[in-house]
Amino acid sequence: MPPRYDVPNSAPEPLRRVQLFVNSTDVHNRVEWLPEWLEAHDLVGADDRARELREAIRALVLANNGLPLDPGALETLNGALARVRPVLDAERRLRFSASGDALDEIVVVVLGAILDGSFERLKACRNCAWSFYDYSRNRSATWCSMRICGNRTKTRAYRRRRRAASP
């Protein structure tokens, strides 16, 4: 398991599954756990599709953190949507269903979270792209961890200010 899993705020289930999928790589430290994720989900060999979907979802959760959404990511996600279908349940609520594999199920969870509004709280850190769940009251969290990324950024800003101030 990726060592950083416990650093960020964990999303509630089922969104946690999406978070773990997005965090199947540590972009900042260039560590890749996708092969393990694929093996655990019976998807060995689906590397390209999985990576493309993962990075498209990362683009979405970065957009949840105020970054512009990459049009290519949107295209990938709309392509993935073709593999899921809407179903009506006994309470006459619209849900999404996937008869495919674990990647389709990830897309179903994303859709459900978009519909119930919880998706906005799943973000990716502006510094290291690690996904975290924003539990703050006003949804203002920007960093995966204040200790890891927030302070680092603050320190940089402080050094910049000091350099600017020195003659």
Binding interface with Zn ion (CB under 5 A):
125, 127-128, 130, 144, 149
Q: How far apart are CA 118 and CA 53, in angstroms?
A: 20
Q: Residue 50 or residue 125: which is nearer to Zn ion going by CB?
A: 125
Angle, helix 47-63 to helix 102-116, in steps of 10 degrees: 10
Structure token pair of residue 155: 């320190």
Q: How far apart are CA 135 and CA 17, in angstroms?
A: 17
Q: 23 with 13: CB under 8 angstroms?
A: no
Position 46, amino acid: A
Q: Residue 6 or residue 116: which is nearer to Zn ion going by CB?
A: 6
- In angstroms, give the least distance from the CB of 97 to Zn ion: 34
Q: How far apart are CA 80 and CA 93, in angstroms?
A: 22
Q: Residue 96 or residue 143: which is nearer to Zn ion going by CB?
A: 143
- In angstroms, give the least distance from the CB of 134 to Zn ion: 13
Q: Residue 103 or residue 128: which is nearer to Zn ion going by CB?
A: 128
- In angstroms, give the least distance from the CB of 44 to Zn ion: 30
Structure token pair of residue 15: 């969104």
- In angstroms, give the least distance from the CB of 137 to Zn ion: 21
